[in-house]
């Protein structure tokens, strides 16, 4: 099987097991952007509380957040953890949005994707994963989001080392999948769903894994089956 066929097979199995995930949770490109920063290294449950605080205060908009004193912003996003650094990061993102796009969060849906991604990653506190999350889920652009769950999955399948750098893992998906935002969207969401419900460690595999037919880790074993581990 080609990598494309294998990747689509994984997608098919996950979709059959879990159904469409309808990501990103939340409404509107701006809320998605804010959520992408707030969710850094934190469970989504914590982020929901912070977003609710911002909504309740009526400030979940570019103008609303910009008008907020920094201490107040920190207080509202406190449940999302790392609230001081994340308040700074949100401020930096707002500054970029204002400077480069006149404060219009929908502007990211237009323009050259590689240029936008480079600009986002240049913002302090916006790394490649946050940038890709914003571009895919807030702007509907065909860029693949690679997170901790994705790394674990690639490692479990024996396709890539868990130490493979972000850009290399992202390039793998993008080189072998058609660049469809809807596919990238659902694929990443399914990987997260699978990671939360199954295969929380790299091994052994749980017996009910939807990927058990192709997973090189036999259930209950600490070792992959020989001959099934390769690298793209």
Partner DNA sequence: GCCCAGGTGGGTA
Partner DNA sequence: TACCCACATGGG
Using CB under 7 A as the binding rule, whether residue 142 contacts DNA is answered as: no
- Using the minimum distance from each CB to DNA, give the nearer residue, 145 or 215: 145
Question: Binding marks (x or -) toward DNA, 77..106, rule CB under 7 A?
Answer: -xx-xxxxxx--------------------
- Using the minimum distance from each CB to DNA, give the nearer residue, 5 or 52: 52
Using CB under 7 A as the binding rule, whether residue 49 contacts DNA is answered as: yes
Candidate segments 55-63, 104-112, 146-154, 168-176, binder of DNA by CB under 7 A: 146-154
CA separation, residue 232 to residues 128, 151, 169, 197 (Å):
21, 14, 10, 26
Helix (H, G, I), strand (E, B) or coil at 219: strand
Among 30, 137, 184, 187, binds DNA (CB under 7 A): 137
Biggest distance spanned by C-alpha atoms of the chain: 59
Using CB under 7 A as the binding rule, whether residue 155 contacts DNA is answered as: no
| Tokens describing residue 217 | 């880790």
- Restricted to residues 213-232, the positions that interact with DNA (CB under 7 A) are none
Q: Could you tell me which residues come within 8 angstroms of residue 59 by beta carbon, excluding any fewer than 6 positions away?
A: 65, 67, 68, 76
Helix (H, G, I), strand (E, B) or coil at 97: helix
Among 200, 223, 228, 231, binds DNA (CB under 7 A): 200
CA separation, residue 166 to residues 47, 87, 146, 170, 226 (Å):
23, 25, 7, 6, 27
Beta carbon of residue 229, minimum distance to DNA (angstroms, whole number)? 19
Using CB under 7 A as the binding rule, whether residue 209 contacts DNA is answered as: no
């Amino acid at each position: 099987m080609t990598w494309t066929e294998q990747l689509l097979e994984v997608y098919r199995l996950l979709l059959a097991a879990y159904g469409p995930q309808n990501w990103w949770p939340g409404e509107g490109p701006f809320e998605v952007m804010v959520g992408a920063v707030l969710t850094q290294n934190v469970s989504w449950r914590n982020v929901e509380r912070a977003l609710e605080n911002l909504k309740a205060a009526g400030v979940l908009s570019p103008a609303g957040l910009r008008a907020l004193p920094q201490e107040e912003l920190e207080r509202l996003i406190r449940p999302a953890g790392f609230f001081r650094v994340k308040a700074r990061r949100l401020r930096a993102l707002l500054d970029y949005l204002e400077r480069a796009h006149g404060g219009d969060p929908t502007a990211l849906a237009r323009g050259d994707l590689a240029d936008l991604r480079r600009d986002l990653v240049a913002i302090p506190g916006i790394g490649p994963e946050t940038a890709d999350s914003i571009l895919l889920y807030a702007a509907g652009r065909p860029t693949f989001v690679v997170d901790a769950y994705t790394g674990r999955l690639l490692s479990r399948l024996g396709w890539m080392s868990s130490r493979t750098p972000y850009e290399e893992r992202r390039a793998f998906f993008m080189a072998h999948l058609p660049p469809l935002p809807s596919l990238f969207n659902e694929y990443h969401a399914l990987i997260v769903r699978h990671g939360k419900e199954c295969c929380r460690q790299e091994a052994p595999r749980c017996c009910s894994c939807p990927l058990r037919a192709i997973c090189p880790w036999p259930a209950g074993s600490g070792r992959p089956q020989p001959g099934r581990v390769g690298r793209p």
